[in-house]
Structure 1
Amino acid sequence: MLSETQLKELAAQLQKPNGENAIEVANGMQATNANIIARAIAAINPQPGDQILEIGPGNAGHITTLPQTAHYTGLDISPEMVALAQQTFSSRPNTVFELGNGTTLPFANGAFDKVFSVNTLYFWKDPAAYATEIARTLKPGGLLCLGFIPQSTMQHIPFAKYGFTHYSQEQAAKLLESASFRTEAIDTTTETIMGNAGKEITREITILTAKSDSR
């Protein structure tokens, strides 16, 4: 069993992998979140030529499932993750990784057709403002997909009491709707995984898809 100090350290690393353990943490997250990431990508249904933004890609190992003719941008708050992804995918066409501050998005209005993000919602410093930023960078009618672990599960995860804001499915949908998104679907399922604390856990995962205001 992890101590409270270790739980705090794990929570901080999951929010922003850094230091000598950054790559190990990123690899662990990629394995732990493989299913929810795959579901999020399926939900946006990436097509050739799409302009796609991912917020918080980590080591970005999953982008090999995207069409190479789609234009992918990965934005992460961890310099270690950006450097790792840039090195790993330096020869992949139409692929860019950038460092972000977690508060604003350094992109033009209407730059993207689709945006997806997995397990970052908990860390948005100003959720309403950030949702509005995402809406700004989407084309009218553009699609946003959030993959996250709902409050019903998060409240039972020991490290999730440190720095995580918990959301029910309804709260997450309401947040996006406040930024002029229209909820398209909320899909919640259960999976059993080896958790970040090294223990097998059963958890709910939610895939929330919404469209930007097309008016």
Structure 2
Amino acid sequence: MATQQELEQLAAQLRQPNGAAGIDVANMMNENNIGMTYHSINRLGLHENQKVLELGHGNGGHIGYLLNQAERLQYTGLEMSELMMKEARRINQQLVENRQAAFFLYDGDKTSFNDNSFDKVFTVNTIYFWKNPVALLNEINRITVDGGWFNITFAQKAFMQTLPFVQFGFELYDTKKAEQLVAKTAWKIAGTVSETETVKTKTGDLVEREFTTITLVK
């Protein structure tokens, strides 16, 4: 059984990967979360020439999949982890050189983008770490075009609270709580879809994880 210190270290890595251990955590997150990530991307309704923003892209192992959804898409990723930004640039070097993908750091609250910069925005498993969620949601609203979408994908509280490390800095959500958060912002909810998938824990056990994608529209 993991010690409290080990759980705290894991929670910190999940929030903001760094160092050699951060690479391993990022690879694990990409593998464990790929179903949720594809779900979020598939529900963006992407069309040719659209500009897509992602919050918290991790190692960016999914970006090729996203760019194959339509012609001439442009992807931008924001990360709080410098290690993840560099790792995503390395993994997607050809896409960066072709100017199909770009990666930047941000502080988790504000961005440097102009108003109406993106057609579609998505984020997977970051909502637990938002320091100022209302302010962040309104900031994303500012940089999204009128009629643009924002997909927020997260694992339901009932599942998350079974994980021992979430006591260290995680804010857990169920659908009702997430919808109440959105109601405090300029966004409108266009749809909510939940699914259950089988995932492997760090001890090798198979468990059922319920997750939800809430689609917001400006």
After TM superposition, the score normalised by the length of structure 1 is 0.94
Displacement of 1:67: 2.8
Q: Give the corresponding residue for 1:51.
A: 51
Query: Would the aligned equivalents of 1:28 and 1:196 in 2 still touch at CA under 8 Å?
Result: no
Displacement of 1:157: 1.4
Q: Distance in 2 between the 1:39 and 1:99 partners?
A: 25
Q: Does 1:79 align with 2:79?
A: no
Q: Distance in 2 between the 1:108 and 1:151 partners?
A: 34
Report Cα offsets for 1:28-60 as digits up to 9, x if no partner: 000000100000000102222111000000011
Q: How do residues 66-215 of structure 1 correspond to structure 2 at under 5 angstroms?
A: 66-67=66-67, 69-92=72-95, 93=98, 94-196=100-202, 198-212=204-218
**How many residues align structurally?**
212
Q: Distance in 1 between the 2:60 and 2:43 partners?
A: 17
Q: Distance in 2 between the 1:47 and 1:3 partners?
A: 47
SS in 1 for 2:183: helix
Structure 2 letter corresponding to 1:189: E
Displacement of 1:151: 1.4
Query: Would the aligned equivalents of 1:32 and 1:196 in 2 still touch at CA under 8 Å?
Result: no
Q: Does 1:33 align with 2:33?
A: yes
Q: Distance in 2 between the 1:83 and 1:196 partners?
A: 25
Identity %: 35
Q: Distance in 1 between the 2:165 and 2:80 partners?
A: 20
Report Cα offsets for 1:132-188 as digits up to 9, x if no partner: 111111011110001101212222211111100011111112212321111111111
Cα distance change, pair 196–114 in 1 and its aligned pair in 2 (3 A):
farther
Gaps of 5+ in 1: none
Q: Distance in 2 between the 1:149 and 1:15 partners?
A: 15
Query: Would the aligned equivalents of 1:47 and 1:67 in 2 still touch at CA under 8 Å?
Result: no
Gaps of 5+ in 2: none
Query: Would the aligned equivalents of 2:67 and 2:75 in 1 still touch at CA under 8 Å?
Result: no
Q: Distance in 1 between the 2:178 and 2:151 partners?
A: 11
Runs of 4+ in 1 over 6 A off after TM superposition: none
SS in 2 for 1:33: helix
Q: Distance in 2 between the 1:59 and 1:194 partners?
A: 20
Cα RMSD after superposing both structures:
1.3
Structure 2 letter corresponding to 1:134: I
Structure 2 letter corresponding to 1:82: M
Query: Would the aligned equivalents of 2:44 and 2:151 in 1 still touch at CA under 8 Å?
Result: yes
Q: Does 1:9 align with 2:9?
A: yes
